[in-house]
């Protein structure tokens, strides 16, 4: 998936989680991913850096967390985890 100049790659496990979610929640997560990919430098209170993951960030979507790596030189956003708040970061 390509959003403006940023290429978005969703990892296998994250894709499986996204497919199992309720359609409305999955749509909210997709929209959050699109907003961040459209302008990763925009001020966003729901985005935080991940410690221990180089260039790693997470975006909060309700009770869900989307963890991703932002590779700016290649304009690639790789989503490696979509998890509920209690199950993320483990």
- CB environment 4-38: b (16+ within 10 A), e (fewer): eebebbbbeebeebbeeeeeeebeebbebbebbbe
- Residue pair 36/47 in contact (Cβ under 8 Å)? The answer is yes
**pLDDT for residue 78:** 96
What would the pLDDT profile of 4-19 be if each residue is shown by its tens digit? 668 999 999 999 999 9
Q: How confident is the model at residue 3 (pLDDT cuts 50, 70, 90)?
A: low
Placement of tokens 């932002």 in the chain:
70
The residues spanned by each domain of the chain are 2-85
* Structure confidence by residue, pLDDT tens digits, 21-44: 999 999 999 999 999 998 888 888
pTM of structure: 0.87
What digits encode the pLDDT tens for the residues 63-81? 999 999 999 899 999 999 9
pLDDT for 2: 58
Classified as helix, coil or strand, 13 is helix
Topology of the domain covering 2-85: YaeB-like fold (3.30.2310)
């Amino acid at each position: 998936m390509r959003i403006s100049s940023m290429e978005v790659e969703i990892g296998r496990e994250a894709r499986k989680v996204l497919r199992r979610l309720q359609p409305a929640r999955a749509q909210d997560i997709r929209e959050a991913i699109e907003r961040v990919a459209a302008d990763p430098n925009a001020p966003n209170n729901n985005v935080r850096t991940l410690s221990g993951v180089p260039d790693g960030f997470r975006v909060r979507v309700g009770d869900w967390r989307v963890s991703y790596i932002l590779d700016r030189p290649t304009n690639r956003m790789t989503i490696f985890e979509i998890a509920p708040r209690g199950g993320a970061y483990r």
